Amino acid sequence: MKIIILGAGGHAKVVLHTLQCAGMEVAALTDNDRSRSGRSVGGVPVLFEDDALRAHPAGTVLLANGVGLRDSTEPRRKVYERFKALGYSFAKVTAPDAHLAPDAIVAEGAEILTRAVLHPCASVGENAVVNTGAIVEHDCVVGAHAFIGPGAILCGGVKVGAGSFICSGAVVVPELTVGDGCLVAAGAVVTRDLPAGARAAGVPARPK
């Protein structure tokens, strides 16, 4: 089935490239500003969102979430939930050069990008992202809508709650729990559990 990518910015470009590397056919990207539609990205047309979805009703295409983020996963969650409520299904996006253990679990809409690693018994929830080169070690649980930034490392047995953002290059040491909706800044090393909604930065990570 063809895929439509929601969004046409930086993350959407990466999702497009990943799908193309995996040999999947992307019909269009979308923009919810009509004035920015009509161009193309990577040879694929950018359509006004309403037009794209009128032409491709639920059941005729799969969607992929191309919405990126600066400091919150909320925009990605909202887009995913809006289109699920309209009856659409989301593709699992897995780069051909990502390494997935045979028993790693990847839920609907999750995106596992180039050179990411999911080791045995790791699981990644709906609409979550494991970005370029990130490592999700054995027995980790990444919650729905969470975003594991490029090069971040979740050591064995770590749990990351729904909607949390582990920024680029951060490390969470083994067996810790990062609650729902947390933000761990780039380069931080998390050495204690974080409660829901915590923002932490630095080495060792402290509230920010």
Catalytic residue among 17, 56, 99, 138: 138
> Which residue number, 30 or 131, has a Cβ lying nearer to ligand COA?
131
Q: Does 150 bind ligand COA (CB under 6 A)?
A: yes
Q: Is 47 helix (H, G, I), strand (E, B) or coil?
A: strand
Residue 119 annotated among the catalytic residues of the structure: no
161, two tokens: 């709650």
Least distance (Å) between residue 35 CB and ligand COA: 26
72, two tokens: 């919150």
Least distance (Å) between residue 43 CB and ligand COA: 23
Q: Can you list the alpha helix ranges (DSSP code H) found in the chain?
A: 10-21, 49-55, 74-85
Least distance (Å) between residue 203 CB and ligand COA: 9
Measured distance CA(107)–CA(118) in Å, rounded: 13
Measured distance CA(4)–CA(109) in Å, rounded: 12
Measured distance CA(200)–CA(172) in Å, rounded: 11
Q: Could you say which residues in the range 175-204 bind ligand COA, by CB under 6 A?
A: 183, 185-187, 201-202
User: Maximum CA pair distance of the chain?
Assistant: 51
Q: Does 151 bind ligand COA (CB under 6 A)?
A: no
Among 20, 114, 168, 191, binds ligand COA (CB under 6 A): 168
Residues that bind ligand COA (CB under 6 A): 71, 131, 149-150, 167-168, 183, 185-187, 201-202, 208
Residues tagged active-site: 138
